[in-house]
Structure 1
Amino acid sequence: MNSEIRNLEPKIVWNHFADLNAVPRPSKKEERVIQFMVDFGKKLNLDTTVDSVGNVIIRKPATQGMENRKTVVLQSHLDMVHQKNADTVFDFDTEGIKMFVDGDWVKAKGTTLGADNGLGVASIMAVLSSTDIAHPAIEALFTIDEETGMTGAMGLKGGVLEGEILLNLDTEEDDEIGMGCAGGVDITATRNYQEESTPENTIAYEISVTGLNGGHSGMDIHKGLGNANKIMNRLLFDGFTNFGLRVAEINGGSLRNAIPRESFATVVIDQISKEPFLFELNELINNIKAEFKSLEPNLSIELKETTTPENVMDLGVQEGLIKTIYAALNGVYRMSPDIEGLVETSNNIARIIVKEGAIKIGCLTRSSSETNKWDLANSLRSAFELAGFDVEFSGAYPGWLPNINSEILNLVTNLYEELHNSKPHVAACHAGLECGILGQNYPTMDMVSFGPNIRGAHSPDERAQITSTQKYWNFLLEILKNIPSKN
């Protein structure tokens, strides 16, 4: 399958992408892809270093006639989000991504594609390996762990880079030029509970919520897509309130930056309530499907009888859990008052695990406003603490404040108009780009972000558009040719 990818244009980009996707590169397990990049740089006889946290930096001198131009930092992240369909057999730790062409799109077989941010990485590799691309001096910065904490960007020390301009190749709309992004904070709520013996004369069910689109918990949060954890909680709330449903286990969602696509719960009810329980829950299921019929046509909610578990949750803790999840905000909290259509602040209830006496809930709160980020975080903290949870904030990172007077932003915007006879969409995005963090140690660096069309990032539906990648690549080459001279 990957052989057809290598014949796509621009071949130099798609071939590097295929090479990269053969290397397992989950977040926080980037040892193999770090070594892959080091070997790549050294094979080209380029200055290649790895910093103290694992970021790879490869330097390439300017091509002839471009020596007086400003040095450019080309930046993308090495790690990728690992998601797969429930029926897909795949080991992200050992296997390379299996890609195929579907019309104008490159997709993966039942898994995330890794175009986020693999196409950015492949583009930089293409510039580094080229012999006929005009460019100024290049500092290629390949960061690690962008998807689960941005620890690579956070760990990059000041003074390592000399570039005056940074091109971040990590957006997902080819007519968009990024000039700002949201910051974020991870919220983790935990508590223990006493398990109780399952009451007698009960019947057990496994409830499954599957088939949702999922997607990026920042870029897609405004679309109203289904969150499997919230949908599951509606079912549990109804069953508990009306039929005394008891919870044995819950396993919902996965990564904080992915809208939950699936949730599974094992529950019990009194046998005497079986028929009315099934009738009412099926009514609720039909109502939920009707609510989401245009957005989530593949939503599946099923009940299946299963072996009765030995234990269930303590009743009081269960009630607190279900009501807290109902109360906790998921989705958009506030739209930007300054930039039309931009989500300012949001939350994703990403992960819920209930098993063997322990509860763990993971959220990711995002905002381009630091004050509103903490306002929403404290709102969620309050909801969880009222139900007896311990709450931890971690992994906080700042947003990237727009600079409307940016020289590179003006250059890139004008070049886009000249190339396409139309204006690009210049905007901040509701995602955690690394520019805000990098700007802390490099406050004078002039930055923009752009990339090809990528759809369904952070989900097994992720796909990259072939014609858009050609457009983006030509745009990048034009930018490199027009980098301004040194002051």
Structure 2
Amino acid sequence: MDMHALEPRSVWTHFFTICSIPHPSHYEKALGTELLSWAHARGIHAVMDSAGNVIMKKPASAGKEGARGVILQAHLDMVPQAMTGSAHDFTRDPIRPRLDPVNSGWLVATGTTLGSDNGIGVAMAMAILEDDTLAHGPLECLFTTNEEDGMDGARAIEQGPLTGELLLNLDGEDDAELTIGCAGAIRTAAVLARPAQVVPQQFAWFEASVSGLLGGHSGVDIDKGRANATLALVGLLAKSREPLSLASISGGTAANAIPREARALIGLAMDRVNAFQNEFHSEATALRIALGDRDPGFTASLEPQTAEASPRQALAPADTEALFAVLGALPNGLVAMEPDMPGLIRTSLNLGRLSGSVAAGQFKLDTLVMVRSSSDTEKEGLGATVEKRLAGAADHGWSVSQSRPSVTPAWTPNSASPLLAETKTVYRELFGKDPRVTSTHGGLETGLFRPRFPAWDMISIGPNIRYPHSPDERVEIASVARSYRFVRELLTRL
């Protein structure tokens, strides 16, 4: 199979162009500018707002002027995750797509996330805009920024620029599903600080690390029992009976991705090294057995550091112990399932990003936690629990400051939606079976749109995407063709 001969050709051509332009969260400007140039060259009305969102408009086809306006919506940014040891710079280097060497029916990237979430949605919308053979009503496209790290673009959308009544969110990840609801979310950022101390010269230093984990999307994969690399490493170190001094620690890159690897620089007295190594490896073996097939690549290691690489300052052992206790007390992973919807996650938590080191005599730790829930009450309750436990570090002499960079409401399903009814009919006629109507534990921008645009009738659809937010991300080629056919047919009927 020739990757550059994939069908529908227009969709894949646009997607490969998107891959060639770096566009991680917060760095979508170049891609947005390219979309503006593309639209203007084809006589399509297009503007970029102050948040970097791109809005395009195309008049109705002849005879469809009286149809309800449709908004096709997708986001411009992607989650930047690379394989261990990769030097890929997501702000400068293009994504390199390739056919999956094991199953050529799927497209993957070379050592990184692919960005089919949500580049395929953007590409489908662009292909529809340039197709003058398609009969449709008034058509608008909304391409938003920073969906993956706060939904800033969606928050900036105002009344006025968009006049459509029906919104098709193209951020779905299963072509057999019609999504009509999503979880809400709270992102809690915390900064913990404590004076460091000068460490004894006769200390031994190790880089402790956890790697090889599957990670994944903190919404759709959080119920799979996979380890959080950061918390796994903290747990291994916390179980040591030896006094440890922490000089630095890091794990994870995004609130909505389960950390796949973590590392820490740890020091201790030389006469305690053998006992520490034995404890660490024993606990790592036990954790590997406990994880089993849920995370078969789990690896934990201790690498001795040279004297030249040894730090001069670190946390005192008592402060290290207190920090590990605070982090270990955080709830994590799956919290509750929906009692009336088998298989649907209700509430979860992910410690997505953590980074700590010594500067100017202070050890400073930055954390980013994401709480998700379809229940706003549970979301607020769990968010408060997280913040209370992080604040508990103050009882051990740490200074603590916290904020909520973003709070997103849940999108409550509306099973009586006229758009849902029409979409189900079209799906059934095209594919000879009923779609699954569902809600997702992942976050969608529709959750932000609902309270501000209550008249919009919304649904989310998309092709089969697996392992999003990880370097194993892949999109099924045949599914892209099915999804594009579905969207085209739906537009002719609305």
Q: Tell me whether 1:330 sits opposite 2:341 in the alignment.
A: no
Task: Give, in angstroms, the shift of residue 256 of structure 1.
Answer: 0.8
Q: Which moved more, 1:321-330 or 1:275-284?
A: 275-284
Deviations 1:92-144 (A, max 9, x none): 11221111012111111001101000000000000011122222221011111
Deviations 1:212-258 (A, max 9, x none): 1111111111111110011001111012xx11122111011111111
Q: Distance in 1 between matches of 2:92 and 2:231?
A: 33
* Percent identity over paired residues: 37
Q: Which residue of 1 aligns with 2:345?
A: 343
Q: Which residue of 1 aligns with 2:31?
A: 33
Q: Which residue of 2 aligns with 1:302?
A: 301
SS in structure 2 of the partner of residue 275 of structure 1? helix
2:244–2:317 Cα contact (<8 Å) kept: no
Deviations 1:316-359 (A, max 9, x none): 33222101111101112222234332112111011121201211
Q: Which amino acid aligns with 1:168?
A: N
Q: Distance in 2 between matches of 1:65 and 1:268?
A: 75
Change (3 A) 1:4 1:90: farther
Q: Tell me whether 1:373 sits opposite 2:372 in the alignment.
A: no
SS in structure 2 of the partner of residue 470 of structure 1? helix
Which of 398, 401, 417 is residue 406 of structure 1 equivalent to? 417
Task: Give, in angstroms, the shift of residue 181 of structure 1.
Answer: 0.6
Q: Distance in 1 between matches of 2:40 and 2:151?
A: 26
Q: Distance in 1 between matches of 2:42 and 2:20?
A: 20
* Cα RMSD, aligned residues only: 1.4
Task: Give, in angstroms, the shift of residue 54 of structure 1.
Answer: 1.8
Q: Distance in 1 between matches of 2:132 and 2:367?
A: 51
Deviations 1:254-300 (A, max 9, x none): 11111101101110122222222222211111111112220212222
SS in structure 2 of the partner of residue 293 of structure 1? helix
Q: Which residue of 1 aligns with 2:282?
A: 283
Q: Which amino acid aligns with 1:247?
A: L
Task: Give, in angstroms, the shift of residue 166 of structure 1.
Answer: 0.3
Q: Which residue of 2 aligns with 1:475?
A: 486
Q: Tell me whether 1:449 sits opposite 2:460 in the alignment.
A: yes
1:193–1:314 Cα contact (<8 Å) kept: no
1:177–1:449 Cα contact (<8 Å) kept: yes
SS in structure 2 of the partner of residue 26 of structure 1? coil
Task: Give, in angstroms, the shift of residue 66 of structure 1.
Answer: 2.4
SS in structure 2 of the partner of residue 355 of structure 1? strand
Q: Distance in 2 between matches of 1:205 and 1:142?
A: 46
SS in structure 1 of the partner of residue 117 of structure 2? helix
Q: Which amino acid aligns with 1:399?
A: A
Task: Give, in angstroms, the shift of residue 201 of structure 1.
Answer: 3.1
Q: Which residue of 2 aligns with 1:419?
A: 430
1:333–1:376 Cα contact (<8 Å) kept: no
Q: Distance in 1 between matches of 2:244 and 2:366?
A: 20
Structure 1: 5+ residue stretches without partners: none
Q: Tell me whether 1:58 sits opposite 2:56 in the alignment.
A: yes
Q: Which amino acid aligns with 2:416?
A: N
SS in structure 2 of the partner of residue 205 of structure 1? strand
SS in structure 2 of the partner of residue 68 of structure 1? coil
Q: Distance in 2 between matches of 1:201 and 1:46?
A: 69
Q: Which residue of 1 aligns with 2:68?
A: 70
1:4–1:100 Cα contact (<8 Å) kept: no
Q: Distance in 2 between matches of 1:36 and 1:402?
A: 35
SS in structure 2 of the partner of residue 381 of structure 1? helix
Q: Which residue of 2 aligns with 1:396?
A: 407
SS in structure 1 of the partner of residue 490 of structure 2? helix
Change (3 A) 1:100 1:298: same
SS in structure 2 of the partner of residue 40 of structure 1? helix
SS in structure 2 of the partner of residue 366 of structure 1? strand
1:5–1:15 Cα contact (<8 Å) kept: no
Q: Tell me whether 1:175 sits opposite 2:173 in the alignment.
A: no
Q: Which residue of 1 aligns with 2:12?
A: 14
Q: Which residue of 2 aligns with 1:385?
A: 391
Q: What is the aligned residue count?
A: 479
2:244–2:320 Cα contact (<8 Å) kept: no
TM-score (norm 1): 0.96
Q: Distance in 1 between matches of 2:221 and 2:283?
A: 26
TM-score (norm 2): 0.94
Q: Which amino acid aligns with 2:290?
A: E
SS in structure 1 of the partner of residue 258 of structure 2? coil
Q: Which amino acid aligns with 2:296?
A: P
SS in structure 2 of the partner of residue 225 of structure 1? coil
Change (3 A) 1:158 1:440: farther
Q: Distance in 2 between matches of 1:76 and 1:106?
A: 20
Q: Which moved more, 1:450-459 or 1:316-325?
A: 316-325
SS in structure 2 of the partner of residue 350 of structure 1? strand
